[in-house]
């Protein structure tokens, strides 16, 4: 390569690097005027007003757009699944709950992957119990600890009559650019590698949640029809996409899921499509990178995601100081998306309050939201408010 060309290349790479490090926007005045794709106009221009047209035409279209342009495919097929119990970790709540450490083993085309699910079942009360699953993105806890109070408040959930389970996302697909394929992707679904809409880490974690549901469905002490899927931040995004793929979840809760989850991409407030794709190129489908700094070219936006879960219940929450996740964009995504609940399914799900005027949680029929003070985290306060919604909607 001649020197001139090399200098030009270096300059281009340098300016791309500078560009990618530009400060996030936190100024409402700099948020672009929103022009969002219409949830109720089909690709052929048909106005969608009935449940039949929604479920027969528009929902499948929107689902396919998210699958191909944002999250990638979650393959549903495998040859065999089996469950066995291990006994490796001490039960932190022996008085309150029994603990099942479940190895879920899945075979496909002669290859095997095993993941670990930890399930607590209440000792008091009569089952079958409703169940809450947390997709835990934190690495496996040291010293064999199973949970972290607040983040996964097992004791409080058990005391309220829930069975509750969790798995570490990394046991299905590592949360790292270099090794995310090392879980189920290279073992069970290698043909997905290299496809622009192939299985990536979010899809793999969602697949893990589906296998947990397979376990719940055959468990005599679990009422799998009363099931709640919970994720925080990156696994909040995952939970939403999982539930769009798998109708077995009665309630889906995404806490502070932000960009690529609850928040509208076109607002470009806080984390942007480009920022997330650069830092986490293995979370979303490769196709999603086409929209780096070109959000306006997306054939969808995140307000179309709740509609894929409807009429099953969906819940979002934000933290006031978590500007990176764009609380207002999360609220707008849900309030606009709730039109599927109200207009197609006839639920009382209209949001009446502007984001700036919110004074407390908004719990409607099958759709709910809260914002709390403080920083990006999943804490007991989030669970406590969310559980009120669960009580009303399960
Ligand atoms: C951030 C990322 C967010 C969010 C978060 C998390 O670094 O930019 O999209 O998912 O991680 O998972 O805690």
Give the chain's domains with CATH numbers.
3-74+124-393 (3.40.50.1820)
Residue 310 confidence (pLDDT): 98
Give the integer Cα–Cα distance in Å for 99 and 228.
Answer: 19
Look at residue 119 in the predicted model and tell me its pLDDT: 98
What pLDDT, on the 0 to 100 scale, is given for residue 143?
Answer: 82
DSSP 55: I
- For residue 354, give Cα distances in angstroms to 37, 66, 360: 21, 27, 12
Q: Which of 135, 168, 231, 280 to mutate to test the pocket of ligand 1 (most atoms within 8 A of CB)?
A: 280
Q: Is 233 in the pocket of ligand 1 (CB under 6 A)?
A: yes
234 lines ligand 1 (CB under 6 A): yes
Gap from CA of 321 to ligand 1 centroid (Å)? 14
Whose tokens are 């947990």? That residue is 212
276 pocket-lining for ligand 1 (C-beta < 6 Å): yes
Residue-wise pLDDT tens digits, 359-390: 999 999 999 999 999 999 999 999 999 999 99
262 lines ligand 1 (CB under 6 A): no
Interior angle at CA 317, CA 163 and CA 159, nearest 5: 25
The stretches in the chain having pLDDT less than 50 are 1-20
pTM of full prediction above 0.85:
yes
Classify residue 58 by its DSSP letter.
Answer: I
Give distance in angstroms: CA of 361 to centre of ligand 1: 24
Say what the pLDDT of residue 12 is: 43
Cα separation, 103 vs 244, in Å, equals: 25
């Amino acid at each position: 390569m001649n020197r001139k060309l090399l200098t030009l290349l270096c300059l281009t790479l340098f300016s791309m690097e500078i560009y990618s490090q530009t400060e996030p926007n936190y100024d409402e005045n700099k948020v672009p005027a929103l022009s969002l794709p219409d949830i109720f106009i089909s690709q052929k221009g048909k106005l969608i007003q009935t449940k039949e047209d929604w479920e027969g035409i528009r929902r499948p279209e929107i689902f396919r757009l998210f699958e191909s342009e944002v999250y990638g495919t979650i393959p549903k097929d495998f040859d065999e699944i089996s469950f066995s119990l291990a006994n490796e970790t001490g039960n932190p709540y022996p008085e309150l709950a029994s603990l099942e450490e479940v190895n879920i083993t899945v075979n496909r085309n002669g290859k095997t992957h095993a993941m670990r699910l930890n399930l607590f079942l209440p000792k008091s009360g009569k089952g079958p119990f409703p169940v809450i699953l947390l997709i835990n993105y934190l690495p496996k806890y040291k010293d064999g600890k199973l949970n972290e109070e607040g983040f996964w408040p097992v004791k409080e959930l058990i005391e309220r009559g829930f069975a509750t389970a969790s798995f570490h996302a990394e046991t299905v697909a590592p949360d790292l650019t270099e090794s995310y394929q090392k879980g189920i992707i290279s073992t069970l679904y290698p043909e997905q590698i290299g496809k622009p809409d192939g299985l990536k880490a979010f899809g793999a974690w969602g697949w893990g949640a589906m296998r947990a549901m397979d376990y719940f469905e055959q468990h005599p002490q679990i009422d799998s029809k009363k099931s709640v899927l919970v994720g925080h931040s990156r696994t909040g995004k995952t939970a939403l996409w999982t539930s769009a793929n798998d109708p077995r979840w009665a309630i889906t809760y995404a806490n502070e899921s932000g960009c690529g989850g609850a928040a509208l991409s076109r607002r470009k407030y806080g984390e942007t499509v480009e920022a997330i794709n650069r830092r986490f190129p293995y979370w979303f489908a490769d196709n999603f990178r086409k929209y780096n700094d070109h959000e306006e070219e997306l054939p969808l936006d995140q307000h179309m995601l709740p509609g894929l879960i409807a009429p099953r219940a969906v819940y979002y929450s934000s933290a006031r100081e978590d500007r990176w996740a764009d609380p207002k964009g999360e609220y707008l995504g849900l309030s606009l998306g709730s039109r599927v609940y109200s207009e197609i399914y006839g639920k009382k799900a209209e949001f009446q309050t502007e984001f700036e005027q919110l004074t407390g949680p908004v719990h409607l029929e099958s759709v709910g939201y809260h914002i709390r003070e403080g920083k990006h985290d999943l804490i007991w306060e989030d669970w406590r408010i969310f559980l009120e919604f669960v009580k009303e909607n399960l």
